[in-house]
Structure 1
């Protein structure tokens, strides 16, 4: 019995492209052979959902599948029955219909090419593209990496992920798809990337944003603090009187743009943090400071909000 590709991915026939991608990502993550070593059932399921996505994930192939032009394996569906007939020493194709026979020898000769009069030649067809999904870490995307993935058919594929790739970007590995027929070129492998979020770093184009907590004494008196970047740790001078939310720029500490080779910057945003438990000495010092200012802090930190209060 033929497999329904929509049922294989657990989506309806009118599902959007994004719904199909999400369903595939979820199932691929759940049944990936690397997570179930030795589990033949999980491996078979992974192969089926990958084969389904190879067709439904391609808009043109999905259209042709829905129209019945290709089957669940991506192969052309034969609209009619053709067979080879020999007559008078010649070889050709004839089309069988309810009305009888109609000679299609010239048409197929033009398509396939002929080696001599009335003789069908070789058929050449490019191979189908294969589509895969690869999930990588934030730093692997920012700095580049090499990955080896297990393919649904059991082989492996080495992928060179360049620095600076983005979520949803598709890498094309030429010639790594389905082999061609005859002298047809092989298809390509299309790798769609999904990037996991990072607990510290956030990306804004080629720039990196990091939030760095400061204690009240570091903010008031100034300090030199260690700040993580995607390239390693750097020392950042915090000047006296630094407010929470203030931003410092570390030039060239962002992501290198693969096209322009220009490196983005890292933006360090400060955040004031008080001790998790009340500190009597700190409270006493703040009270003395407030009293010395006449019962106020001596400035209005919410001056810009007054117009809206």
Structure 2
């Protein structure tokens, strides 16, 4: 990835975590390998963007990078690893790879080379041998953005996706997944160094809104249009749910805004109790009101004497 992950994401060092996330999502969407299967440059940039977000999207990793404790790959500087393990007696002083441990005797590059050769098991010093065969570091976690349908999130699904490194894997979407939830795929990230394990793939899932259903916690809310006559005399009607239509009784004399609760017809999450579906009734008139309906309404108004706003006026 780029030496400067901030430049990779096109943001300033003062950016908030939300701004970092927004910048990553935009770039990931524009550069995704599925959109550019034959563009190696964009695929490489996609990997760099994912690696940069893996670093800066984690507040603690970002703090350590800004403080110079880890590099742009998220790994501690080898010199710092040595310092932490072998220089406890000097832990109160800052280590400078160019001049040794602050205030005491200095160490040159040759001295450091000998030390790291022993520490990492290399033959030519830490710098000359890639830290030698004894150097092990866990692979980077790779991040991926996945968008799914509302009902896929509710019911669960399997999706075949392209990961940031170009690999194709199958992801299991668990039932009841929430918008913005991140799935961790163990060992599907970047390979480790030496004998260390690979990193993980972190898949953040965005759920597309549904035109009928709205999720509130584990409940599902639905607006149900009913006719004037259904509201007056009651009826049995089919109501859509996330698992198929069910028959519901509309009580006699209901008003718009009345809510009916369908127990257990909401979100079912693993190991948890299913939510409910809340059905809000809306009386809907035809787009064109004919003479018969107009005549009926006038006759009813003349004999009913009903004022639905009377209670409102009493409260004023």
TM over 0.5, shorter chain:
yes
Q: Which moved more, 1:5-14 or 1:138-147?
A: 5-14
SS in structure 1 opposite 2:46?
helix
> Are 2:258 and 1:251 aligned?
no
Aligned counterparts of 1:60 and 1:21: Cα–Cα separation in 2: 15
The equivalences for 1:10-89 within 5 A come to: 10-77=10-77
| Alignment equivalent of 1:292, drawn from 298, 303, 314 | 303
**Is 1:133–1:194's contact at 8 Å kept on the other side of the alignment?**
yes
Query: Which structure 1 residue ranges, 5 or more long, are not aligned?
Result: 83-94, 115-119
The equivalences for 1:98-247 within 5 A come to: 99=106, 101=108, 112=120, 122-247=134-259
| Alignment equivalent of 1:280, drawn from 281, 288, 291 | 291
Task: Flag the 1:139–1:176 CA change in 2: closer, same or farther, 3 A.
Answer: same
Q: Which moved more, 1:222-231 or 1:68-77?
A: 68-77
Provide, for residues 216-267 of structure 1, a one-character-per-residue CA deviation record: whole Å limited to 9, x for no partner.
011112222221111011121212212111111212111112242x111111
Q: Shift of residue 41 of structure 1?
A: 4.7
TM-score normalised by the chain length of structure 2: 0.79
SS in structure 1 opposite 2:240?
strand
Task: Flag the 1:140–1:18 CA change in 2: closer, same or farther, 3 A.
Answer: same
Q: Shift of residue 181 of structure 1?
A: 2.6
**Is 1:148–1:158's contact at 8 Å kept on the other side of the alignment?**
yes
Task: Flag the 1:282–1:68 CA change in 2: closer, same or farther, 3 A.
Answer: same
Q: Shift of residue 97 of structure 1?
A: 4.2
**Is 1:8–1:49's contact at 8 Å kept on the other side of the alignment?**
yes
Aligned counterparts of 1:100 and 1:143: Cα–Cα separation in 2: 62
Aligned counterparts of 2:50 and 2:69: Cα–Cα separation in 1: 20
Q: Which moved more, 1:126-135 or 1:229-238?
A: 126-135
Q: Shift of residue 76 of structure 1?
A: 4.6
Aligned counterparts of 1:276 and 1:65: Cα–Cα separation in 2: 62
**Is 1:109–1:121's contact at 8 Å kept on the other side of the alignment?**
no
Q: How many residues align?
A: 286
TM-score normalised by the chain length of structure 1: 0.81
Q: Which moved more, 1:69-78 or 1:231-240?
A: 69-78
Q: Shift of residue 272 of structure 1?
A: 0.8
Q: Shift of residue 169 of structure 1?
A: 1.6
Query: Which structure 2 residue ranges, 5 or more long, are not aligned?
Result: 83-96, 101-105, 123-131
**Is 2:223–2:281's contact at 8 Å kept on the other side of the alignment?**
yes
SS in structure 1 opposite 2:159?
strand
**Is 1:112–1:124's contact at 8 Å kept on the other side of the alignment?**
no
Aligned counterparts of 1:100 and 1:77: Cα–Cα separation in 2: 17
> Are 2:314 and 1:302 aligned?
no
Instruction: Tell me which protein shows more strand as a share of its residues.
Output: 1
Aligned counterparts of 1:63 and 1:226: Cα–Cα separation in 2: 55
Aligned counterparts of 1:156 and 1:289: Cα–Cα separation in 2: 66
Aligned counterparts of 1:2 and 1:25: Cα–Cα separation in 2: 18
